[in-house]
């Protein structure tokens, strides 16, 4: 991975689920999520059918996810207190995409949105639209407690594994694309280079999400990939102009030294 890649990522995935967090089981299921949400992944794993209700519980609180080989933090927890402490520690430092089971979500989500909302707020104090995903097998069992928070528009309740993975991947792509647009507003080589990197990552993730669950048709103007194309073209043009100006400046400086 390039050095740019290591410093360009400022988001993380945090997953609270006492079953998913087991270090000894369901590597394939977790690897599917890791490879699909990793914009630098060379090989996307196929999502396999998994019975969410029969996953095995394990007692350790935080899991080593180094086997997932992702270039950004992908942290698993199986209990609320250490997870909440971790989320608070990273509030404002990282853009957090948080998945939780329904059973644990019914406790941690109200605690977050009532008392620790800053975990999912931007620099202007607004809640990120795509932040909290309640990933459960039975929506009806959790809709009642979640209903009071749905107006915040930061919570999604999802029961289907493919829908969950595709949605998460597209939301991360959307975030990376927005970071690219921020960098594109600058006028220096490093910023435009990073903008292109963000756009490239977003493009890869949108493609990977479509493999899991197809989105807009390829020729649809609403397809995010088509929306990215003019941004990429603009960044490439801006980069060429900045590089040309930089070369002209270097030539002028060299001639001045020689004279």
Residue 44 pLDDT: 63
**What span, in angstroms and rounded, lies between the C-alpha atoms of 69 and 107?**
31
- 37-60 per-position pLDDT tens digit: 999 887 665 554 433 333 323 333
Both tokens assigned to 194:
């990073």
259 falls in which pLDDT band (50, 70, 90)? low
| Stated pTM of the model | 0.84
- 84-132 per-position pLDDT tens digit: 999 999 998 889 999 999 999 999 999 999 999 999 998 889 999 889 9
The answer on pLDDT for 25 being more than 90 is no
User: Parallel, antiparallel, or unpaired: how do β-strands 155-158 and 95-100 relate?
Assistant: unpaired
Tokens 């995903």, located at residue: 133
Residue 249 pLDDT: 61
**What span, in angstroms and rounded, lies between the C-alpha atoms of 213 and 143?**
24
1 falls in which pLDDT band (50, 70, 90)? very low
Phi, psi of 80 (to 5 degrees): -70, -50
Residue 135 pLDDT: 93
Query: Higher model confidence: residue 112 or residue 65?
Result: 112
The answer on pLDDT for 254 being more than 70 is no
152 falls in which pLDDT band (50, 70, 90)? confident
CA-closest candidate to residue 58, choices 15, 14, 20: 20
CATH classification number, 3-159, choose in 1.20.120, 1.10.3470, 3.30.300, 3.40.50? 3.40.50
Query: Higher model confidence: residue 68 or residue 58?
Result: 68
């Amino acid at each position: 991975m390039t050095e740019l890649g290591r410093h360009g990522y400022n988001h993380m995935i945090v997953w609270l689920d006492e079953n998913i967090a087991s270090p000894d089981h369901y590597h394939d299921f977790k690897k599917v999520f890791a490879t699909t949400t990793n914009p630098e992944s060379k090989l996307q794993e196929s999502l396999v059918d998994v019975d969410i209700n029969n996953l095995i519980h394990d007692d350790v609180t935080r899991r080593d996810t180094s086997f997932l080989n992702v270039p950004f933090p992908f942290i698993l927890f199986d209990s609320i207190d250490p997870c909440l402490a971790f989320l608070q520690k990273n509030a404002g430092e990282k853009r957090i995409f948080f998945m939780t089971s329904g059973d644990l979500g019914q406790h941690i989500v109200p605690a977050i949105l009532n008392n620790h909302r800053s975990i999912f707020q931007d620099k202007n104090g607004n809640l990120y639209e795509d932040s909290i995903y309640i990933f459960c097998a039975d929506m009806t069992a959790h809709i009642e407690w979640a209903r009071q928070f749905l107006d915040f528009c930061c919570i999604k309740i999802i029961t289907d594994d493919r829908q969950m993975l595709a949605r998460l991947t597209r939301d991360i792509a959307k975030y990376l694309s927005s970071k690219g647009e921020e960098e594109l507003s600058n006028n220096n080589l490093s910023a435009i280079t990073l903008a292109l990197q963000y756009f490239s990552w977003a493009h890869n993730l949108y493609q990977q999400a479509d493999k899991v669950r197809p989105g807009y048709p390829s020729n649809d103007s609403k397809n995010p990939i088509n929306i990215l194309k003019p941004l990429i073209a603009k960044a490439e043009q801006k980069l060429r102009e900045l590089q040309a100006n930089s070369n002209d400046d270097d030539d002028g400086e060299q001639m001045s030294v020689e004279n």
